[in-house]
Each structure stands twice: as structure tokens, then as C-alpha cells.
């Protein structure tokens, strides 16, 4: 097993890394979140994304567009997204526990699969809203987002009445910021962030640099 050094993440002040997260919709947004969650030391990740054909005949698996804007590689062409992400995440953190569900998430019956914070990357608007509504009714924090290769958006959707620690949104912000700025490992300045859903502080931008291996005063 590779000796993965997470000392940088452990040294960063005011960051609480959640033990488990669930990513529903593992395309560009969900894919980058999964990668940087693994790099930041999350212990357990549930990946949920249907494999095969949609009702309209289009593939739900990896095609050229996903390779262009997500963390996927050429040899993943045609593979299920959750399988490709498992491979990528284990390279970054061999100790991470990954559970894969190749299903279309049903908000009426599938919340038993969810662990920890939910990252909602589902593109279908009705399902996307139903997931948020289901999280809200269960007291689960939900963070929604999307990335189309040009602009990145994210929205924090805490459940009504939920108590969220001051440090947890910072971790979430750092992960989605890292995803937004990665652009296939290119070093992009935090000022280039084009998201329209959340504002991130300098400390969160610093965290994103640290997660991507950059040098930053900690």
C-alpha cells in the first residue's frame, strides 16, 4: 500500500474533514468532488450513478465530454462513472472506503444508501429538487452543484433547523473550490472562480491550493 501523507490536510486550521459523504450524480461536478474528497482524507464515500442507457437511448457511462471536463482518463471511455472514479480515488488514497451504486437514485426509496453529507450533482431538475427536499426532511446537509467545462456553480442547501459546525462549510467550500479550479490539474488562481452560488473566503481558497499540492502559508 502506498504511503499517503495527509499531514498537510491535518495541519490546516479550522477545517473538519467529514468521515463520510455521498455523491449522487458522478459526472463533472461529482467526479471532481470525489477526487478531492479522497485527497483530503475522507474515510468513506458512497458513489451513486446509473450505468447503461437512459430512457432516451443515450449513454449514462463515460463519453468524450466527460473525459474533457471531468477527472476521467482516456482509458475510461465507455466505463461506468462510479467504476472509473473508484480507480482514480484509490490511487490518491488507497485507504478510502468506496461503496458504488449503479442506480438511478429514487428519492422516495433510496435514502437508506446515503451516508454523511450529500453532494447533489444530478442534472434532472425534478430529481435534483426531490433529493434536496428529501435531505431537508431528514436533516441531512446537501450541497448542489454543476460544472459544464466553462463555469462552475454550487449552492449550500442546509436542512431547515440543521446545526452545521462553523468549520464544516469551510471544508465543503475548499473541496468544491478545488474542483472548480482544477481544470485537469492546471494551476489556476482562485480569483478565476466563476461560480454563481457561493462565496468563498481566502482561507477556503488557501485550502484549495493545499489540496492541489500547491505551496501556501498555512
Higher pLDDT among residues 214 and 98, named by residue:
98
Residue 216 lies in a domain: no
Long-range contact pairs involving 145-148 (C-beta distance under 8 Å, separation at least 24): 145/29, 145/33, 145/119, 145/120, 145/121, 145/176, 145/197, 146/28, 146/29, 146/121, 147/28, 147/29, 147/32, 147/69, 147/179, 147/180, 148/28, 148/69
Domains identified in the chain, total number:
1
> pTM above 0.75?
no
What long-range pairs does 106-112 form, CB within 8 A, spacing at least 24?
Answer: 107/131, 107/133, 107/134, 110/48, 111/138
| SS3 (DSSP) at 39 | helix
Classify residue 154: in a domain, yes or no: yes
Tell me: pLDDT of 101 over 90: yes
**What pLDDT, on a 0 to 100 scale, did the predictor assign at position 76?**
84
- Residue 178: per-residue pLDDT: 54
Residue range 22-61, pLDDT digits in tens: 999 998 888 988 988 888 888 999 999 987 666 555 667 7
What is the Cα Rg of the chain in Å?
Answer: 16
Other beta carbons within 10 Å of 15: 19
Q: What pLDDT, on the 0 to 100 scale, is given for residue 192?
A: 32
Q: Tell whether 218 is covered by a domain.
A: no
Round the average pLDDT of the chain to a whole number and report it. 71
Contact present, 23 and 45 (Cβ < 8 Å)? yes
- Does 168 map to a domain? yes
Range of the domain at 59: 16-211
pLDDT tens digits, 60-97: 777 777 777 778 887 888 889 899 999 999 998 999 99
DSSP-based three-state secondary structure for 129: helix
**Residue 90 located in a structural domain:** yes
Predicted confidence band of residue 155 (pLDDT cuts 50, 70, 90): low
In this structure, what CATH number is given to the domain that contains residue 35?
3.40.50.720
Q: Is residue 1, in this structure, part of any structural domain at all?
A: no
Q: In what order do the strands lie in the sheet with 97-101?
A: 97-101, 44-48, 20-24, 117-120, 142-147, 152-157
What pLDDT shows up at residue 128? 87
Most confident of 7-11, 109-113, 142-146: 109-113
Name the pLDDT band for 150 (thresholds 50, 70, 90): low
For 158-199, what is each residue's pLDDT tens digit?
444 444 444 455 555 555 555 544 322 322 333 333 333 333
Q: Is 105 within the bounds of a domain?
A: yes
Domain-embedded: residue 22: yes
6 band by pLDDT with thresholds 50, 70 and 90: low
- The C-alpha angle 133, 138, 143, rounded to 5 degrees, equals 55
Give the pLDDT band of residue 107 (cuts 50, 70, 90). Answer: very high
Amino acid at each position: 500500500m502506498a504511503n499517503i501523507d495527509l499531514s498537510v490536510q491535518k495541519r490546516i486550521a479550522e477545517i473538519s474533514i467529514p468521515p463520510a459523504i455521498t455523491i449522487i450524480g458522478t459526472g463533472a461536478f461529482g467526479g471532481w468532488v470525489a477526487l478531492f474528497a479522497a485527497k483530503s482524507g475522507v474515510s468513506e464515500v458512497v458513489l451513486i450513478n446509473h450505468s447503461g442507457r437512459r430512457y432516451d437511448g443515450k449513454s449514462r457511462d463515460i463519453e468524450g465530454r466527460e473525459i474533457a471536463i471531468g477527472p476521467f482518463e482516456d482509458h475510461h471511455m465507455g466505463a461506468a462513472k462510479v467504476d472509473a472514479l473508484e480507480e482514480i480515488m484509490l490511487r490518491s488514497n488507497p485507504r478510502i472506503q468506496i461503496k458504488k451504486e449503479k442506480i438511478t437514485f429514487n428519492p422516495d426509496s433510496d435514502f437508506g444508501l446515503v451516508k454523511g453529507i450529500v453532494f447533489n450533482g444530478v442534472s434532472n431538475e425534478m430529481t435534483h429538487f426531490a433529493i434536496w427536499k428529501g435531505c431537508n426532511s431528514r436533516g441531512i446537509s446537501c450541497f448542489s452543484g454543476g460544472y459544464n467545462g466553462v463555469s462552475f456553480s454550487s449552492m449550500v442547501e442546509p436542512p431547515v433547523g440543521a446545526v452545521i459546525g462553523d468549520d464544516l462549510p469551510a471544508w465543503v467550500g475548499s473541496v468544491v473550490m478545488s474542483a472548480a479550479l482544477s481544470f485537469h490539474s492546471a494551476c489556476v488562481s482562485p480569483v478565476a472562480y466563476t461560480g454563481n452560488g457561493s462565496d468563498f473566503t481566502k482561507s477556503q481558497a488557501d485550502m484549495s491550493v493545499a489540496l492541489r499540492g500547491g505551496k501556501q502559508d498555512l
